[in-house]
Amino acid sequence: MRHGRSSRCQTGVPKLRAKPRRLELSDPDTLRCLLDLQYASYAVEARLIGFDGIPALHESPDDLRDCAESFLGLDDENGLAGAVSWVRQHDGTLEICRLMVHPRAFRRGIATTLLDALDHTEPARRTVVSTGTANHPALVLYARRGFAPVGTRQVAPGATVTILERYGAPP
């Protein structure tokens, strides 16, 4: 059921939950809902940047479950509406690995709520993230949160990602 939607992903939670929650990828229903969210979210980014080779679009449930990332998720009335994942590097840097919002939930403050929760849960002297260079909504969001571009990396002919970093707490 790669792109199908499980009825178990619908939580019946009214509006947005007040607080993001930790996601346990060992739970099969949570994993399925997260994968559905990931495919939907990254399909939009793929269209924005003109590159459908984004690894998250091709990740299997086993790959996602076995990743070394920690996850927070936020539900709306239709299920998992957004998630953020991260790892802590050896030098203490917080690396945001994924920030996903379901297209049905765009422009509702979900990404900001998730990043606020991450900043509270995992304060860091330095935080890094990367996104498609042509993903202007993501670049604007990160700039509002105090991130500055520090470089780009070509991931395929005609497709680049912008690497951003922030020192200290968000503005």
Q: What is the DSSP string of 6-21?
A: -GGG-----SS-SS-E
Report how far residue 149's alpha carbon sits from residue 171's, in angstroms, rounded to the nearest whole number: 16
pLDDT for position 125:
96
pLDDT at 10: 52
Q: Domain limits at 143?
A: 9-167
Binned at pLDDT 50, 70 and 90, residue 5 comes out as very low
User: Average pLDDT, stretch 89-102?
Assistant: 97
Looking at residue 75, its pLDDT comes to: 95
* Residue 4 within any structural domain of the chain: no
Q: What are phi and psi of 150, to 5 degrees?
A: -125, 0
Give a yes or no: residue 138 inside a domain.
yes
Task: Flag whether 142 is in a domain.
Answer: yes
pLDDT tens-digit map of 97-117: 999 999 999 999 999 999 999
Q: Is 86 within a domain?
A: yes
Residue 2 domain-assigned (yes or no): no
| Structural domains in the chain (count) | 1
How high is the pLDDT of residue 6? 46
- The string of pLDDT tens digits covering residues 143-171 is 999 999 999 999 888 889 999 999 998 88
Domain assignment of residue 88, yes or no: yes
Pairing state of beta strands 79-88 and 94-101?
antiparallel
End-to-end CA distance of the chain: 41
What confidence score (pLDDT) does residue 105 get? Answer: 94
Residue 66 lies in a domain: yes
Q: Could you tell me the two tokens for 14?
A: 């009214």
| Residue at 1 is within a domain | no
CA dist., res. 91 & res. 18, Å (int): 32
Q: What is the CATH number of the domain that holds 78?
A: 3.40.630.30
For residue 118, pLDDT over 70 is answered with yes
Provide the residue type at 53 as one letter: G
